[in-house]
């Protein structure tokens, strides 16, 4: 659009003329997505669809737009799963203490929707973690593989080939 609209022409007819001339020059040929349907065409328009599309395009999770209270609530709900994946008691304590610190900070100056969020008992989380680690997993394939394995020879026997 390098030229200005002539004074005697309506805006709509001038735009139509610009489009027609660009089409004749072939400026719309080989555009990306040419011949493909428009995404979401024919579907009802959601007022937040632009936000979902933007977040998906940018690869951003919804965590950035959630209020702190809802993030804390979600982290509390996922705490048992996260703890189960940890190998050391020190890491379990650090995770629970870090979550408690975030909860206490939020309780001092709550923002966003008010959600019931309370600090967790760190010792109780650690005790639960210990009890789950002591419990034998009899249904898992790893547990059955360790029970059916033949004992290994000691290293001198393996090294020198003695039975």
CB 93 within 8 A of CB 126: yes
Q: How far apart are CA 98 and CA 141, in angstroms?
A: 34
What is the residue whose two structure tokens read 């000691």?
154
Task: Report the pLDDT value the prediction gives residue 137, as an integer from 0 to 100.
Answer: 59
For the question of whether the overall pTM of this predicted structure is more than 0.85, the answer is no
Provide the angle, in degrees to the nearest 10, between the axes of the packed helices 122-134 and 68-84.
30
pLDDT in the model for residue 37: 87
**Residue labelled with tokens 């309506």:** 10
Q: What is the model's pLDDT at position 121?
A: 95
Helix (H) or strand (E) holding 31: none
Domain boundaries, the chain: 63-133
Mean pLDDT, contiguous 10-residue spans, the chain (163 residues): 69 82 89 83 84 85 84 94 94 96 94 91 94 72 53 55 53
Q: What is the pLDDT of residue 52?
A: 83
Distance CA 155, CA 17 (A): 88
The CA distance from 156 to 150, in Å, is 18
Count CB atoms within 10 A of the CB of residue 160: 7
């Amino acid at each position: 659009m390098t030229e200005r609209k002539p004074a005697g022409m309506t805006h709509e007819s001038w735009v139509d003329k610009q489009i027609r001339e660009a089409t004749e020059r072939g400026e719309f040929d080989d555009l990306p997505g040419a011949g493909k349907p428009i995404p979401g065409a024919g579907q009802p328009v959601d007022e937040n669809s632009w936000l979902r599309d933007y977040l998906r395009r940018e690869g951003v999770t919804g965590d950035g737009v959630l209020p702190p209270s809802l993030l804390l609530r979600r982290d509390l709900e996922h705490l048992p799963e996260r703890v189960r994946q940890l190998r050391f008691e020190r890491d379990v304590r650090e995770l629970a203490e870090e979550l408690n610190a975030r909860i206490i900070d939020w309780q001092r100056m709550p923002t966003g929707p008010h959600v019931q969020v309370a600090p967790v008992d760190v010792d109780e989380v650690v005790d639960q973690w210990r009890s789950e680690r002591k419990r034998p997993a009899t249904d898992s394939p790893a547990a059955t593989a360790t029970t059916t394995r033949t004992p290994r020879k000691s290293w001198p026997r393996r090294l020198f080939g003695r039975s």
